[in-house]
A and B are shown apart, each in its own frame.
Chain A
Amino acid sequence: MFYRTAGQFKTSYSADQALFPVRQDAVLLIVILAFAWIIFPLTASEFTFQTLLIPILIYSLAALGLNILTGYAGQLSLGTGAFMGVGAYACYKMVTLMPWMNPIVAILLSGVFSAGIGVVFGIPSLRIKGFYLAIATLAAQFFLVWLFEKWAWLYNYNASGAIQVPNLDMFGVYVAGPQATSFTQYYVVLAIVSLLTWVCINLTRGRPGRTWKATRDMDIAAELIGIDLMRSKLTAFAVSSYIVGVAGALFVFMWRGAAEPNLFDIPLSFRILFIAIIGGLGSVLGNYLGAILIVGLPVVLGIVPEALGLEITSATVEHLNVMIVGGLIIFFLIIEPHGLAQLWRLIREKLIIWPFPH
């Protein structure tokens, strides 16, 4: 009923290639955008901004970056956290060395640094695959976090060894630092995440996406139909690390406000990987669904029992969260490797034929 597609015919290939060949999808997207751009920011409390809205967007973006590399191009990486760190430190150095720089430009440029370093650490992928590549990216993870600790220039020789986001303004409005409001920061994050999501959708639906998927599905056949595997893999590393780096800059500048090197350590890498897996490898939408679940679950676990009058300690909430996330990962890896995005696709297919299943 809601998803009836009868009467919607395609008369050109461009219409068929449109993002939303089915009208209801476009309507749904407009509703979601209206919530994201208008309703949420107008109604959200400080708590909602800080525990849900802003982190969900930033984690989605990081997972999207990882998904380009792992889900689309098939190159497993365990170094996402460190590449977020590269973006964050690059942004920190830019705004402190060049305080006149527009903060949004600085955030978007910081991805260029992580992209460069991503390509360097992507070179082993030309020789090794799968498990071995994962270990190589793990080495990158250790090396970079070690560098964040030891290279004092990166954190401007602060005694604490941490980076502290300064007040940064744009046209008289503070967008980062202690003076910035959550409301402003939410819009900055939303704008950047929307822009990069749109870019990723474009890249994945055209020739670059097919090149990556061919590399992922069968590299020998890909090479024999003329795909330059080296280029395919290295562009995936570059695009992926760019997005992950921007996510890292947002993570620190728009949300955490300060960062120590160990913030970018393995737990962060795994968190992003879990979001991508639960959301669905090889999907753009899935990253959002995964981030909503991973970020939202502990919040819900913290609120619901209390609202029901159950007494649960915060340690128990933490344990419950870990158990549920662990269970979900096992479920998705075994039962539904394409994650929440695939579940949504199935529901949508059912809705299209509902209520006449034949």
Chain B
Amino acid sequence: MNVHLQEDLSKHTLRADDGIAKGADLLKVENISLSFGGVKAITDISFDIKKGEIRAIIGPNGAGKTSMLNVINGFYFPQQGTITFRGEKRRRARASETARDGIARTFQNIALFKGMSTLDNIMTGRITLQKRSLLWHALWKGPAEREEIEHREAVERIIDFLEIEHIRKTPVGRLPYGLQKRVELGRALAADPALLLLDEPMAGMNLEEKADMSRFILDVNQQYGTTIALIEHDMGVVMDLSDRVVVLDYGKKIGDGTPDEVRNNPDVIDAYLGVPH
């Protein structure tokens, strides 16, 4: 498995190799506020994500975690504040462009393409890397076929890595929930992201599935060097996996630091025990 990944690293220039040193700021979120009509989902939040780390975002239901990811990947444009990704300030742009810049994600509610197989779903992750025009694809033979095979090879390495060879050709709608989550991770990985956003990748999984998923997340981080932002409710998982944790509550940041610091932070303890404000 690791052999495959190393091959991958040597064969492709990963977007993770973007000249930003490990430990330097990959993403900076500054004074972000986002509201929907009257509902304030996020209020004046700032934090950073360093290259190479696993950064957890935690908080009770409705704290604004998913909204934060939606801001980071350009799905929502915040009313206030700035996002700086790889040293460049984000302008207002279509969400599809953020993906092209190297931010990939998975979704809290699985968002796979139901009518397609596992293989095709993961192949869609590479759409932004496929450059041949429609006309070449109409001909198939030649450049388009070469491009398809090249990307298929990359996708097969991901399929091996996630241990889903047996469901390669299965329509994803027929897969059990846990496997669907894994395919979704595969689709995000296929984009060779510089920053991977995972929204509750283990929600609704049993212990064994959670252990597998944790292992994949750690391997991705260590072998590919991919920076990961992770939303997760299972505190055990968060404490084991993450390098640093941001804690949100009612749209505000109430804690930020290593898992140990956060665990002992009185505001965080209050939020989780439901002390009224």
Shortest distance from the beta carbon of B167 to any chain A beta carbon, whole Å: 15
Q: Provided the pairs A225-B187, A226-B100 are in contact, do residues A214 and B134 lie with their beta carbons within 8 angstroms?
A: no
Does A280 sit at the interface, judged by CB under 8 A? no
Q: Provided the pairs A13-B149, A202-B144 are in contact, do residues A225 and B137 lie with their beta carbons within 8 angstroms?
A: no
How many of B's residues come within 8 Å of A, CB to CB?
41
Residues of B within 8 A of A226 (CB): 96-97, 99-100, 127-128, 191
Does B95 sit at the interface, judged by CB under 8 A? yes
The segment from B31-39, B105-113, B250-258 that touches chain A is B105-113
Does B156 sit at the interface, judged by CB under 8 A? yes
Complex Cα spacing A220 to B112, Å: 11
Shortest distance from the beta carbon of A349 to any chain B beta carbon, whole Å: 12
Complex Cα spacing A290 to B138, Å: 24
Interface contact B96-A229, CB-CB below 8 Å: yes
Residues of A within 8 A of B120 (CB): 210, 213
Interface contact A218-B114, CB-CB below 8 Å: yes
Shortest distance from the beta carbon of A227 to any chain B beta carbon, whole Å: 6
What 1/0 mask marks residues of chain B from 42 to 72 whose CB sits below 8 Å from any chain A CB?
0000000000000000000000000000000
Complex Cα spacing A313 to B241, Å: 78
Residues of B within 8 A of A218 (CB): 111-114
Chain B stretch 162-195: residues in CB contact (< 8 A) with chain A: 187-188, 191
Complex Cα spacing A225 to B114, Å: 15
Does B80 sit at the interface, judged by CB under 8 A? no
Interface contact B138-A225, CB-CB below 8 Å: no
Interface contact A214-B94, CB-CB below 8 Å: no
Complex Cα spacing A203 to B145, Å: 11
Complex Cα spacing A327 to B149, Å: 44
Does B148 sit at the interface, judged by CB under 8 A? yes
Residues of B within 8 A of A224 (CB): 73, 75, 95-96, 99, 105, 111
Main secondary structure of the interface of A (DSSP, over half): helix
Residues of B within 8 A of A222 (CB): 113, 124
Does A208 sit at the interface, judged by CB under 8 A? yes
Interface contact A17-B115, CB-CB below 8 Å: no
Complex Cα spacing A235 to B115, Å: 20
Does A25 sit at the interface, judged by CB under 8 A? no
Residues of A within 8 A of B100 (CB): 226
Q: Of A206, A220, A223, which is within 8 A of B94 by CB?
A: A223
Interface contact B123-A221, CB-CB below 8 Å: no
Chain A stretch 183-223: residues in CB contact (< 8 A) with chain B: 199, 202-203, 205-208, 210-211, 213-214, 216-218, 220-223
Complex Cα spacing A17 to B94, Å: 33
What 1/0 mask marks residues of chain A from 1 to 34 whose CB sits below 8 Å from any chain B CB?
0000000000001100100000000000000000
What 1/0 mask marks residues of chain B from 124 to 145 whose CB sits below 8 Å from any chain A CB?
1101101010100111100011
Does B116 sit at the interface, judged by CB under 8 A? yes
Q: Nearest chain-A residue to B151 (Cβ)? A: A207
**What size tier do the contact residues of chain A reach?**
20 to 34
Interface contact A225-B115, CB-CB below 8 Å: no
Interface contact B153-A221, CB-CB below 8 Å: no
Complex Cα spacing A187 to B94, Å: 48
Interface contact A203-B149, CB-CB below 8 Å: no
Interface contact A202-B123, CB-CB below 8 Å: no
Interface contact B138-A199, CB-CB below 8 Å: yes
Interface contact A216-B127, CB-CB below 8 Å: no
Q: Nearest chain-A residue to B113 (Cβ)? A: A217
Interface contact B149-A225, CB-CB below 8 Å: no
Q: Nearest chain-B residue to A198 (Cβ)? A: B140
Residues of B within 8 A of A213 (CB): 113, 115-116, 120
Does B15 sit at the interface, judged by CB under 8 A? no
Interface contact A207-B127, CB-CB below 8 Å: yes
Interface contact A202-B138, CB-CB below 8 Å: yes
Residues of A within 8 A of B94 (CB): 223, 228
Does B104 sit at the interface, judged by CB under 8 A? yes
Residues of A within 8 A of B125 (CB): 225
Does A85 sit at the interface, judged by CB under 8 A? no
Q: Of B96, B140, B148, which is within 8 A of A227 by CB?
A: B96
Does B152 sit at the interface, judged by CB under 8 A? yes
Shortest distance from the beta carbon of A111 to any chain B beta carbon, whole Å: 13
Q: Provided the pairs A224-B99, A224-B105 are in contact, do residues A282 and B115 lie with their beta carbons within 8 angstroms?
A: yes
Complex Cα spacing A203 to B144, Å: 10
Q: Of B124, B137, B138, B147, which is within 8 A of A214 by CB?
A: B124
Residues of A within 8 A of B191 (CB): 225-226
Complex Cα spacing A221 to B124, Å: 11
Interface contact A228-B152, CB-CB below 8 Å: no
Complex Cα spacing A17 to B114, Å: 21
Complex Cα spacing A199 to B138, Å: 5
Q: Nearest chain-B residue to A12 (Cβ)? A: B149
Residues of B within 8 A of A225 (CB): 99, 104, 124-125, 127-128, 187-188, 191
Q: Interface on A for B, CB 8 Å cutoff? A: 13-14, 17, 199, 202-203, 205-208, 210-211, 213-214, 216-218, 220-229, 235, 239, 282
Q: Report the 3 A-B pairs with minimum CB-CB distance, sorted nearest first.
A: A226-B99, A226-B128, A221-B111
- 9 sample A-B contacts, Cβ–Cβ < 8 Å, listed by A number: A13-B153, A13-B156, A14-B145, A211-B124, A220-B75, A220-B111, A224-B73, A225-B99, A226-B99
Q: Interface on B for A, CB 8 Å cutoff? A: 73, 75, 94-97, 99-100, 104-105, 107, 111-116, 120, 123-125, 127-128, 130, 132, 134, 137-140, 144-145, 147-149, 152-153, 156, 187-188, 191
